[in-house]
A and B are shown apart, each in its own frame.
Chain A
Amino acid sequence: MAELSKNDEREATPNVSEVDVVDAHSETEAVAAVEAPVDRGEPILQIRGLKKHFPLTQGILFKRQVGAVKAVDGVSFDLYQGETLGIVGESGCGKSTVAKLLMNLEQATAGEIFYKGQDITRLSGRALKAVRRNIQMVFQDPYTSLNPRMTVGDIIGEPFDIHPEVAPKGDRRRKVQELLDVVGLNPEYVNRYPHQFSGGQRQRIGIARGLALNPEVIICDEPVSALDVSVQAQVINLMEKLQDEFDLSYIFIAHDLSIVRHISDRVGVMYLGKVVEIGSDEQIYDHPTHPYTQALLSAVPQPDPEAREHRERIILTGDVPSPANPPSGCSFRTRCWKAEARCAEETPLLAVPQRFQGGDTPANHESACHFAEEKDVVHAA
């Protein structure tokens, strides 16, 4: 904390209003050397067969359901204490709906979300409120997710109105200032309004609000995609520092595959409401076995002009099909170059492919493809 307050002094000088995160370098490096969890214990969140179908209705007076948009269609994964699970996918794949379901902002159509063994989709009233304290969210757009008529102090302190047990009334201002300090903002700013801050600083305010109730899990939905490159790095570094400091578990949802690799311990790839591949960052990025993951990775422009002549690009044809009318069998088959008759008939399950089972290979991770095959597209230069 001493380091942070030192930074705050510098923040008062013009043009240097964001914290110099580079200073914290040595500190975080030391922490990074210690990690590498061996026994991950019980998962803090277990998601099983989660579904969210939005009904499509017809008629005005007598509404009848004519179909459903299958935004999330059977998603299962675990989140362990202190880890970051990245979720990547293109727009419309259902990743943000998963975030809303985990927050209980949307009612799941089917499936369970166990928080420390308790199914939160069935909770209501006081029990739900108690659980919610431990799962918080940081939103994508720092310009619309902060109320422009509230001061920063009120925004960060608002969670205490709902959960007064965390901070007694007289103690709130001090708590809020402490939080500002933790996210690298000057504690004197408590009476300012959101418009007086830059995008990066606003995202820090959003993070401070997320931290207010000492949660265990933070769900981050595209937390840095609205920020400029140089500010992105500051916010990512802050999030990593806070994770170590408070032993937080993150679900990090983003479309930027490089950022997800940087911050995540494990990564899940979503396509059309389903997780198609999940594994450690190394398994997914260096040894992907699902064709969609391979195409996605090969399409990412890399900041290396030398490689551009040799890189193998898998250019997918067409667009993502509508989630109201997904293809039969494997939902990726309409764009897949490996698709055969079997793919239309039989839905591939998310499991370790048989040929890789038990093998001491990085391809030994869950992938929902009948023809899963390892292919390193990132290093293929």
Chain B
Amino acid sequence: MLLDVRDLRVEFRTRDGVAHAVNGVNLSVDAGETLAVLGESGSGKSVTAQAVMGILDSPPGRVTGGEILFKGRDLLGLKEEERRRIRGAEMAMIFQDALSSLNPVLTVGAQLAEMFTVHRGMSRKDARARAVELMDRVRIPAARERVDDYPHQFSGGMRQRIMIAMAMALEPSLIIADEPTTALDVTVQAQVMDLLAELQRELDMGLVLITHDLGVVADVADRIAVMYAGRIVESAPVHDLYKAPAHPYTRGLLASIPRLDQKGRELYAIKGLPPSLTDIPPGCPFNPRCPMVRDTPCRTEVPPLFEVAADRGSACFFWEECLHG
């Protein structure tokens, strides 16, 4: 197993109390595999990614428990110095907003070359040549002429390609992409996802795709983990989950998106709002919004992740009912 996250817990100390952003998350990704982590805002999906990368804002954030095993080593036990060496070289991250993730006063060539001078100790000339190569590889037209351009001179799609080039630079074995195409137009989104999938195949990388978009997940993921209020409520191979969701939250999400291929009737709407992370309801965190809720055990006990089938789990006491009903 390339990445194995076990019972990860993250808290944020805020003025309004302690926000429990991640509450016992288990995830695993193999080489060459794509895992989608799906959730709405505030579900803890990005915080999980930041904890794995070791770029959590702390304080106020703090990992309070669990293990992050990367190639068998627990990253949480490493010194910051050692983690920095892994970051970029062995695992890399792609962010949603390429414009604010790139340095506006440095040319893209300089930023790409930095990967090689810092991590690989290359000369500036060699590093520059590698930067051009990388830009070619992510199909930026006229890479040689554009290597000295600044980020603002590129379009949104091109900037995201540069982000991908930077993440790929040192051929890491794991990429975490946090909403990589959310800010892009749909035709450009298709180009970027295509490129990402191609590079992943080529380098046999593990990919963790963090997203809220059920369409993107269906297009690229092998497995999917659905997060709600800092917990994984359902995890399954992607085909199984879309065919028959085993958690009422997943079922609600799938029913609430309009379809492109048919004119639907009224949309199903999950009632209410996701809970505040400082005030997660007792019992199952989804119980105030759940159409299948029962007083016991839903409002009193936190459901564990039940095994629905091999490689498939649901954190619902009534998953059987949900799966067949």
- A contact residues vs B (CB 8 Å cutoff): 13-22, 25, 28-29, 32, 90-91, 198, 200, 228-234, 236-237, 240, 255, 257-259, 261-263, 281-282, 285, 295-297, 299-306, 308, 313, 315-316, 318-320, 378-379
Contact = CB atoms under 8 A, between A and B. Distances in A.
Given A237-B266, A263-B258, 9 more contacts: A17-B272, A21-B271, A228-B40, A229-B256, A230-B269, A257-B186, A258-B257, A301-B218, A319-B158
B263 A302 contact: no
Contacts of B188: 90, 319
A244 to B, nearest CB: 11
Label chain A's interface by main secondary structure. helix
19 contacts: A20-B271, A28-B266, A90-B185, A90-B186, A91-B156, A229-B253, A259-B258, A261-B258, A285-B261, A296-B186, A299-B186, A301-B218, A302-B215, A302-B218, A303-B242, A306-B239, A313-B190, A313-B194, A319-B155
Contact of B218 (A25, A237, A304): A304
Contacts of A237: 266-267, 269
A200 B263 CA distance: 24
Interface string B183-221: 001111111011000000000000000001111111101
Given A28-B266, A90-B187, A301-B219, A15 B260 contact: no
Contacts of A305: 218-219, 221, 238-239, 242
Nearest to A232: B256
A91 B191 CA distance: 16
B281 A15 contact: yes
A130 B228 CA distance: 48
A194 to B, nearest CB: 16
Nearest to A22: B269
A73 B254 CA distance: 39
Nearest to B224: A305
B27 to A, nearest CB: 20
Contacts of A263: 258
Contacts of A313: 190, 194
A28 B275 CA distance: 29
Contacts of A32: 265-266
Question: Sorted from nearest, which 3 A-B pairs have the closest CB atoms?
Answer: A301-B215, A262-B258, A20-B271
Contacts, number: 163
Contacts of A255: 185-186
Contacts of B254: 303
A20 B272 contact: yes
A272 B40 CA distance: 32
A234 B259 contact: no
B221 to A, nearest CB: 8
Residue in A14, A299, A305 with the greatest tally of chain B CB atoms within 10 Å: A305
Nearest to A376: B261
Nearest to B189: A299
B40 A301 contact: no
Contacts of A17: 272-273
Interface of B: 40-41, 141, 155-158, 185-191, 193-194, 212-219, 221, 238-239, 242-243, 252-254, 256-261, 263-275, 279, 281, 288-289
Contacts of A258: 215, 257-260
Contacts of B243: 306
A90 B191 CA distance: 14
A184 to B, nearest CB: 11
A232 B255 CA distance: 12
Contacts of B269: 20-22, 230, 233-234, 237
Contacts of B252: 230
B257 A303 contact: yes
Nearest to A265: B263
B194 A315 contact: yes
Nearest to B185: A90
B243 to A, nearest CB: 8
A259 B260 CA distance: 8
Contacts of A281: 263
A230 B256 contact: yes
Nearest to A292: B187
A278 B214 CA distance: 28
B139 to A, nearest CB: 9
Contacts of A25: 266
A306 B263 CA distance: 20
Contacts of B253: 229-230
A304 B242 contact: yes
B212 A228 contact: yes
Contacts of B275: 15
Contacts of A296: 186-187
B261 A378 contact: yes
Given A22-B271, A229-B256, A301-B216, A91 B185 contact: yes
A248 to B, nearest CB: 17
Question: Which of B256, B265, B269, B288 counts the most chain A CB atoms within 10 A?
Answer: B269
A378 B189 contact: no
A88 to B, nearest CB: 9
Nearest to B271: A20
Given A301-B216, A308-B219, A18 B272 contact: yes
A303 B271 contact: no
B220 to A, nearest CB: 8
Contacts of B158: 319
In this complex, the member of B243, B264, B273 whose beta carbon has the largest number of chain A beta carbons within 10 angstroms is B273
Contact of B40 (A28, A229, A261): A229
A136 B97 CA distance: 32
Contact of A302 (B191, B193, B260, B288): B260
A316 B281 CA distance: 47
A240 B266 contact: yes
A319 B191 CA distance: 11
A91 B156 CA distance: 10
A22 B14 CA distance: 35
B289 A229 contact: no
